[in-house]
Amino acid sequence: MKRDLVSIRDLNKNEFMEIIKDGIRLKEERKKGIRETLLRGKVLAMIFEKPSLRTRVTFQTGIYELGGIGIYLAPLDIQIGKRESIEDVARNLSRWVGGIMARTYLHSTVVSLAENASVPVINGLSDLEHPCQILADFQTIYEKKDYIEGIKLAFIGDGNNVCHSLMLASGLLGVNMRVAHPEGYGPKEEIIRSTEKLASSSGGSITLTFDPKEAVDGVDVIYTDVRASMGQKDEAEKRRKVFAPYQVNEELTNYAESDYIFMHCLPACRGEEVTTNVIDGSHSVIYDEAENRLHSQKALMLKLMK
């Protein structure tokens, strides 16, 4: 039976950890010049409605290193849902390729692709979730801290797609997560409910607060993201003012554990959500995170497309 990764909720705890550990193995093998070509002859169709650096390069490099090839479908190539219905795109691609990765504006687009494709569909980013980023994030946390269950993680900023997937993964893996956000900019209720349900089984927890210092107090990981994502640029000036008290700076990080790590999914607006001193400081692991997109996604493609 074909499997998709549309949401973090498509994985159980064991599967999530298997992908992380397989990503670490593939990373070590790559350093030694060892290549697994288990996806030889496989083609990954990569649908992009949004521009991308990390998602495009890591998926295209990853499928190549596994023996397959990636086909980049730019926003104007297929105009999914406009020139041709999502359903027809999914059914056509299923006849030609071994998997579909989609970086879209609407989460419903990825859901519809998965419902109508007979090959695995991977959510490369949607307005609701960013599961591939979070696989790389937790691979990074595991590498740096040597454990995940019981980790204390603070997300500071907008309750956006990255925050949603971090919450769901934290609930799944037994992480104690705190989210500090301005009033009116919190995560969606359905994500909160799903996280609470997952956390009740894993021993994790989710705490929402308007106070960034309360969120960061004693944590092992501080995570932030841009304040205005694509599609919200018209709100940028308003958000800049609302989110000003939520900047991750040296004063705020002093409340965390002395060996905390700083994370950001990138791209970053330096001087806005995070200061240059923090993002370039000794606690920052942002480039390890970015690198791990390649390795964790290779592990994911092996799991879904073999």
Q: In what order do the strands lie in the sheet with 121-125?
A: 69-73, 43-48, 99-103, 121-125
Question: Please, what's the b/e burial string for 89-112 (b: 16 or more CB within 10 A of its CB; e: otherwise)?
Answer: bbeebbeebbbbbbbbeebebbbb
Contact 49, 75 (CB under 8 A): yes
Question: Would you name the residues annotated as active-site residues?
Answer: 103, 130, 133, 225, 265, 293
Give me the long-range contacts of 190-196 (CB less than 8 A, separation at least 24): 191/128, 191/159, 191/164, 191/167, 192/167, 194/9, 194/168, 195/167, 195/168, 195/170, 195/171, 196/171
Residues shown for the chain: 306
Which residue, chain included where needed, has tokens 């990954």?
44
Report CA-CA distances (Å) from 245 to 157, 207, 236.
Answer: 10, 19, 15
Calpha distance 242→169 (Å, rounded):
27
